[in-house]
């Protein structure tokens, strides 16, 4: 793979985290396990807001990426709404 080749990553084992509008899955990036955190968000007053985030995971995601502004969002098949996604280190 050259430096300019696109890197395709699949996220598997996506499941809802009890008591919040957050999903958790896992992915392997170049053979290394990563956690995929997905927080359901909506737009309110031109600001991205978490739907049900009692543990402030959206704030944690912003911290991980250096608070670079609002996240692009994705739809996740089988789960309603749109989600902010961060792939973070995992442990074995």
Quick: pLDDT tens for 1-48.
Answer: 556 777 778 899 999 999 999 999 998 888 888 999 999 999 888 889
The residue length of the chain stands at: 92
The distance of Cα 33 from the centroid of its chain, to the nearest Å, equals 15
> What's the pLDDT score for residue 1?
52
Q: Measured between alpha carbons, how far is 20 from 55 in angstroms, rounded to an integer?
A: 8
Residue 21: CB atoms within 10 Å: 22
- Write down the H helix ranges in the chain: 57-64
Q: Where in the chain are the domains?
A: 12-89
With 0-12 / 13-18 / 19 or more C-beta atoms within 10 angstroms meaning exposed / middle / buried, residue 87 is: middle
């Amino acid at each position: 793979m050259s430096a300019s080749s696109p890197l395709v990553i699949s996220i598997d084992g996506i499941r809802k985290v009890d008591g919040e509008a957050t999903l958790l899955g896992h992915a392997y990036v170049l053979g290394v396990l990563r956690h995929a955190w997905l927080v359901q968000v909506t737009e309110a007053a031109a600001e991205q807001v978490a739907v049900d985030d009692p543990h402030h995971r959206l704030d944690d995601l912003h911290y991980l990426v250096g608070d670079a502004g609002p996240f692009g969002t994705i739809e996740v098949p089988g789960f309603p709404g749109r989600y902010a996604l961060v792939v973070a280190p995992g442990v074995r």
